[in-house]
Amino acid sequence: MPLINVIPGNKIPTAPLNVRMPMWHMPGWLLLIVWTVRGLARLVVLSVRYWWLTMPVGVAVWFRAEYGSFVVLGLVLVITGGCLAWWRLHPASWLRFGWHPIVGRWRRLWVYRRRWASAMATCGLATVFDGDRYIPRLGRVRSSRYGDEVTVRLLPGQIPDDWATAAPRLAYTFRLRDGRAYATSKPDRVTLRFLRRDPLAGLIQPLPIPAMPDFTALPLGVREDGETYRLRLTGSQLLIAGATNSGKGSVIWSLIRALAGGIRSGLVELWVFDPKGGMELAAGQPLFTRFAYEDPDTMAGVLEEAVKRMRQRAARLRGITRQHIATPGDPTIVIVVDELAALTAYITDRKVKERIREALGLLLSQGRAVDVHVIAALQDPRKEVLPFRDLFPTRIGLRLTEKEQVDMVLGDGSRNRGARCDQIPETTPGIGYVALDGVREPVRVRFSYLTDTDIAQLVRDYARPGGAA
């Protein structure tokens, strides 16, 4: 085996069986022996590699020879009964340690291994070196209820982004719904995640309300892997972008719900701006410290008031502490703006527009340090509509109408890395992509949906101490 210029992939032979005659003369019987030995060696390797298949078959054959067919049948029944009992008694551990590993191995062999070489070649992931063709090595396959996680060893010259671009093609090649590639801690591997069933297809019920909101982990929805999606608002500002009816309202309501414990105890103040006339958020008025929805002039005034509060706080804390601790007398201020463009772009009065822009710019750039956060929803993420885009460190991309908008919202290269906001169907509002701390690739999330009854209940249980705004 050569020690230099080794390609860590699988070499594809030019023919399934090499029957070329060697250059030197070899008698036919010797050739037959060589091929037989080679074939046997390959059989042994395969039996060891697929021990989970060959071992039970071998044991069954041996039992049948020793004790007869009935004993084998009895054994099969006992094992099946044991598995059923395990499933009934403790389904979670059965699925994790019993069923899903079996499904993973089977799918590795039947779905992926079988079509691997052709899939790699047709999706542009194979390579040629020194006249030989190589394909990436297929690693482990872990299956879950919703999909498969396939580990792959990269070929030289490949980067995770190549796989991210090819992932949707691969998904269709393996007859699956959706595929995305993720970089791993090892620089020579990527993980492909393929969906068989969408865990986010159903409605996400409102999540439990924390007694005291943790600003580093506000529960807002469910991630594709079934975990709760928690938003980190500490030191951040949040932009929610999505076409009309994409579910921006559900993100805002999920967030208000996550903050409700703090609102009731006076540790959080919500300043809400609903420039669309108060339709979306009016139901939550008893939760809000300020609620502005009428004319732009009033909204500009309230924003300027927020700037004043922010400056006073900054002056008070300067030189004393770098971290503001919320108290009922000095709470965290969360400014919620439904449809930001209505404040920054669609106002005709130039003077008011200027005042709003200035106040928003100050809040966004200086608020983070003193516990003043801005949460803004937006339909159209074009630059001329939103001059402050870069001041939002945290962004959520719901369904968007054009591909180009995805990178505008989530940052350059996000769509290539898997955030396909433009492909979210209209039938699944509340689904979007978010960036998680320490993860390069955007993660798909569905936000919880609060019905009018849930909102009414929330208002009844968590209205702010001083009464309605």
Ligand X SMILES: Nc1ncnc2c1ncn2[C@@H]1O[C@H](COP(=O)(O)OP(=O)(O)OP(=O)(O)O)[C@@H](O)[C@H]1O
Q: CB 292 → ligand X: shortest distance, Å? A: 17
Q: Which residue lies nearer to ligand X by CB, 158 or 250?
A: 250
Using the rule CB under 6 A, is 296 a contact of ligand X?
A: no
Using the rule CB under 6 A, is 250 a contact of ligand X?
A: yes
246, 344, 394, 414: which one binds ligand X (CB under 6 A): 246
Beta pairing class for 228-231 and 290-292 = unpaired
Using the rule CB under 6 A, is 433 a contact of ligand X?
A: no
160, 168, 219, 242: which one binds ligand X (CB under 6 A): 242
Q: CB 450 → ligand X: shortest distance, Å? A: 9
Q: Which residue lies nearer to ligand X by CB, 242 or 261?
A: 242
Binding mask 324-363 for ligand X (x = CB under 6 A): ----------------------------------------
215, 433, 447, 462: which one binds ligand X (CB under 6 A): 447
108, 180, 189, 248: which one binds ligand X (CB under 6 A): 248
CB distance 251 to 399 below 8 Å? no
The Cα–Cα gap between 375 and 101 comes to: 42
Helix, strand, coil shares of the chain as percentages rounded to 5?
45, 20, 40
44, 203, 212, 439: which one binds ligand X (CB under 6 A): 203
Q: In what order do the strands lie in the sheet with 218-223?
A: 228-231, 218-223, 443-447, 431-434, 394-397, 238-241, 372-378, 332-337, 268-273, 290-292
Q: What ranges in 68-99 are assigned the alpha helix state H?
A: 69-89, 91-93
Q: What ranges in 201-349 are assigned the alpha helix state H?
A: 248-264, 296-317, 341-344
Crossing angle for the helix pair 160-173 and 114-122, to the nearest 10 degrees? 120
Q: CB 70 → ligand X: shortest distance, Å? A: 55
Rg from Cα positions in the chain: 30
The Cα–Cα gap between 297 and 188 comes to: 57
Residue 321 falls in which region: left (phi positive, over 0), alpha (psi -120 to 50) or beta: beta
- The interface with ligand X within residues 19-48 (CB under 6 A) comprises none
Using the rule CB under 6 A, is 249 a contact of ligand X?
A: yes
Binding mask 147-186 for ligand X (x = CB under 6 A): ----------------------------------------
Size of the site for ligand X (CB under 6 A): 15
Q: Would you state the structure tokens that stand for residue 300, as one six-digit string?
A: 């500009």
Q: CB 8 → ligand X: shortest distance, Å? A: 44
The Cα–Cα gap between 139 and 150 comes to: 7
Report which secondary-structure segment, H or E, holds 468. none
Q: Is 418 annotated as a binding residue?
A: no
Longest dimension (CA), the chain: 100
Stretch that binds ligand X, among 26-34, 222-230, 244-252, 281-289 (CB under 6 A): 244-252
215, 288, 449, 462: which one binds ligand X (CB under 6 A): 449
Q: CB 147 → ligand X: shortest distance, Å? A: 21
Please enumerate in sequence order all residues whose Cβ is within 8 A of that of 271, keeping only pairs 6 or more positions apart, or say none.
288, 289, 290, 292, 302, 306, 333, 334, 335, 336
Using the rule CB under 6 A, is 237 a contact of ligand X?
A: no
Q: CB 144 → ligand X: shortest distance, Å? A: 23
Q: Is 247 annotated as a binding residue?
A: yes
Q: CB 83 → ligand X: shortest distance, Å? A: 37
Using the rule CB under 6 A, is 261 a contact of ligand X?
A: no
158, 379, 394, 405: which one binds ligand X (CB under 6 A): 379
Using the rule CB under 6 A, is 430 a contact of ligand X?
A: yes
Beta pairing class for 238-241 and 268-273 = unpaired
For residue 80, the number of C-alpha atoms closer than 13 Å in the C-beta half-sphere is 6
Stretch that binds ligand X, among 14-22, 157-165, 170-178, 243-251 (CB under 6 A): 243-251
Q: Which amino acid is at 166?
A: A
Binding positions for ATP are 242-249
Q: Which residues of the chain form contacts with ligand X (CB under 6 A)?
A: 203, 242, 244-250, 280, 379, 429-430, 447, 449
